[in-house]
Structure 1
Amino acid sequence: MSAPVIRKASGPDSLVISDDCNHPANVICELCRLFFDKDWVTGTGGGMSIRQDNLVYLAPSGVQKERMKPENMFVMDLNTRDYLKTPDTYKPSACTPLFLSIYNAADAGACIHTHSQSAVMVSLLYDKEFRISNIEQIKAVPRITEAGYLDNTDELVIPIIENTLQEEDLTPYLAKTLMEYPAASAVIVRRHGIFVWGANIWKAKIINEAIDYLLELAVKMRSFGINTTGPLGIEKESPYHECSHHH
């Protein structure tokens, strides 16, 4: 048995090689594998970024998410927009300008972009906004413009923007939407996917999971003729609702 190789990196690689499981480069790899298993990122689709102070860690373009390694990461200085670390074989993600505009507008600590089928389906069922209320899982989403989290009786609103031919061309539309919806934690891109952000990566993960649950649920509710923003008891009006008849 040969002795284990201790990975010590010098130069730019020292920004991404670490034995700390909470290091941003390690966390991005861990979550990309997890989201691959959930079918949220497939076939190089989707992206992820973590911001630590003025450093932004970015998953590269064209890499299979479940095989990503820390050395594949890009690291950017948020102030100068210069790359401090670039991998040998990969290009920067097309999501990069979108992530930067989210960091700029929302003061987020992490951004997640998935190609979730539930997000795409919702973009086909709703026009300019997705809305849902009176579901327990809404309580996982923060209020953003004030302290605390939404109540289950609150209405969660997620804006929907049109897709563009090139992903980076979404940037001005995303920036405009972030100004119009300061309380948003996510933006859906029609026929494409969703961007979700949070104060740090673990909060962004929770928000992403909660929102995807609500999107999937909404698609099912709509398929049974139940309004996602109807009052409590609206489901009784669905033709599929089973009520007990006493004779």
Structure 2
Amino acid sequence: MTQTSQLDQLVSACHWIGERGWAPATGGNMSIRQDAEFCLLSESGKDKGSLTRDDFIQVKIASNRVPSGRKPSAETGLHTLIYRLFPEAGAVLHTHTVNSTVLSRVEKGAALELQGYEMQKTLAGQHSHLDCVPIALFDNDQDIDGLAKHIEQFAAQNPLRYGFLLRGHGLTCWGKDVNEARRHLEGLEFLFQCELQRRVLESQ
């Protein structure tokens, strides 16, 4: 698929995310890999439900440098990290949903473990509800460069697939292209909602 088609699909995915309230008040950021050297990342301070092709900024993956001088989203360093860590990653979606934000604070462990849900099979490579799918959890940090280094160190010793959660912040997920990243986002959001409701019911 051409880069133009991928960017059009990303714009469409951003509108879909905006309609669901998954990136409220200009929160969240989304990107695609342009080539081995650059990605295209949403500009800071823009409503994700009304983004256009012109709202995506070219960013150098190796250095976070922005040739145009425009201001990309605050979590630029997390997007470029994913593209460096996972050469197969073609799109990254970062959202601020209620389910992911609340679960990231309720879960005190190093990962949110999902098991027993048929919808786990929406995630690439998952074939059974019996598998345990850990979604890594990291403490939120305004120092994005430091946070990226911490995640990189974690990924060097632990499998990191589909996405990760930042406590009190939200979900960052990815896929080989926009369609897969979007499927992972929708599948994980469904799983998060199920897990949150299960915990509420079991606590009563």
Q: Does 1:73 align with 2:73?
A: no
User: In the comparison of the two structures, how many residue pairs are matched?
Assistant: 199
Identity of aligned residues (%): 24
Report the TM-score when normalising by structure 1: 0.74
SS of structure 1 residue aligned to 2:30: strand
Structure 2 residue aligned with 1:39: 21
Among 183, 186, 189, which residue is 1:209 paired with? 186
* TM-superposed deviation, 1:162: 0.2
Report the TM-score when normalising by structure 2: 0.88
Q: Distance in 2 between matches of 1:64 and 1:48?
A: 12
RMSD over aligned CA atoms reads 2.1
Structure 1 residue aligned with 2:42: 59
Q: Does 1:97 align with 2:58?
A: no
Q: Does 1:120 align with 2:101?
A: yes
Please list every run of at least 4 consecutive aligned residues from structure 1 whose deviation after the TM superposition is greater than 3 angstroms: 77-87, 166-169
* TM-superposed deviation, 1:73: 1.3
* TM-superposed deviation, 1:190: 0.2
Return closer, same or farther for 1:208/1:153 CA change in 2, 3 Å cut-off. Answer: same
* TM-superposed deviation, 1:81: 5.1
* TM-superposed deviation, 1:79: 5.5
Among 75, 83, 90, which residue is 1:109 paired with? 90
Q: Which runs of 5+ in 2 are unaligned?
A: none
Q: Which runs of 5+ in 1 are unaligned?
A: 1-17, 143-147, 227-238, 240-247
SS of structure 2 residue aligned to 1:225: helix
* TM-superposed deviation, 1:135: 0.8
Q: Distance in 1 between matches of 2:103 and 2:80?
A: 25
* TM-superposed deviation, 1:201: 1.3
Q: Distance in 2 between matches of 1:81 and 1:225?
A: 44
Larger RCO, structures 1/2 (Cα 8 Å, 6+ apart): 2
Structure 1 residue aligned with 2:113: 131
Structure 2 residue aligned with 1:83: 66
Is the 8 Å Cα contact of residues 45 and 114 (structure 1) preserved in structure 2?
yes
**Which of the two has higher C-alpha Rg?**
1
